[in-house]
Structure 1
């Protein structure tokens, strides 16, 4: 079981490394409001991961793999990302708390942003393809525990990545001023807008 956990911890860390929507939002919130706000975005994203893992464990993989569900997630992902992107650009010069000052932004708000940006078909595809296969083989061997340990390993790997990233961001934040943070927020909003457009195009390609 230890080897399964460590192998999947490495897997979780690896899949968290590429820059995606959650990483972008984590970095933005980390720069604007500090380590804990950036980390809470990651926790929000991981909550979605955990729910997908639980859904697979409960036997909902065929439902999650249904074309209609995946099509709907492309649209939901586009809407949520565009909302976060708009908010990021509109409020780029607001809620900026430089290092050493106390932020007024609530952690629950950062957590909510993490939930919204994590509603992505790429998350769904990953959990179905990787853990759907693993779950089938685990159940065939009569070992539900193996699936649970593997899932916890992946989540732990994601946490290792998130804590490491936020530690770097927290250090970088100490030498930034409000103008730099503002433009980082605008840049993050533009990147998230790009992802939103990509998601929407994928949604359109599935219905036409």
Structure 2
């Protein structure tokens, strides 16, 4: 059990830094409430689970190859630029204030979570961080305890998502439509920033490759 709780803490630490999935989760949580914000988080965790399976099968190493990573950074940047544009353009749409009936479907926000998490650039980022932790645990603890380690990390990520969305849900109760609209615009700007980061990583990898 100590191994499990150790990796729960590591999962929390991995999820803490603000990333594209956190931005999208917060935006949807403010616009449509806890469940829709969590739907984004579940979409992200779906990709996390697939990454764990890929690493276990040895497929994640393929994404770590330099000539595979470089185009993925660019494609990932395009993914995030599209999401950033949509977030800013539709900032005043699909807003449901606390107490109002939500019209947006759970599946559509879950799909958003999958899209953000499966952005190629995001996959490269997570393989480098998330994959390194899992690869190290696989080497140290072997295949038998790999599942415990993976479950610990996923539990930590889940705890982070629930904690964040609880705060978002409480904040949403005192926010009006205009405040939520500007939050969506800020989220779009942040997503644009992550896209620029992916482009920067592409340039660095290209220089190193040449």
Q: TM-score normalized by structure 1?
A: 0.92
- The structural deviation recorded for 1:137 is 2.8
User: Paired residue for 2:127?
Assistant: 124
Structure 1 residue runs without a partner (length 5+) = none
Tell me, in whole angstroms, the C-alpha distance in 2 between the residues paired with 1:61 and 1:13: 22
User: Does 2:36 correspond to 1:37?
Assistant: yes
Count of residue pairs brought into register by the alignment: 203
Instruction: Give the secondary-structure state (helix, strand or coil) at the position aligned to 2:152.
Output: helix
Higher mean displacement: 68-77 or 165-174? 68-77
> Alignment RMSD, CA only?
1.4
Q: How does 1:1-208 map to 2 (within 5 A)?
A: 2-118=1-117, 119=119, 120=122, 121-139=124-142, 144-207=143-206
Tell me, in whole angstroms, the C-alpha distance in 2 between the residues paired with 1:84 and 1:30: 16
Q: TM-score normalized by structure 2?
A: 0.91
- The structural deviation recorded for 1:128 is 2.6
Tell me, in whole angstroms, the C-alpha distance in 2 between the residues paired with 1:68 and 1:114: 27
Tell me, in whole angstroms, the C-alpha distance in 2 between the residues paired with 1:72 and 1:160: 33
Tell me, in whole angstroms, the C-alpha distance in 2 between the residues paired with 1:201 and 1:111: 29
Tell me, in whole angstroms, the C-alpha distance in 1 between the residues paired with 2:192 and 2:58: 34
Structure 2 residue runs without a partner (length 5+) = none
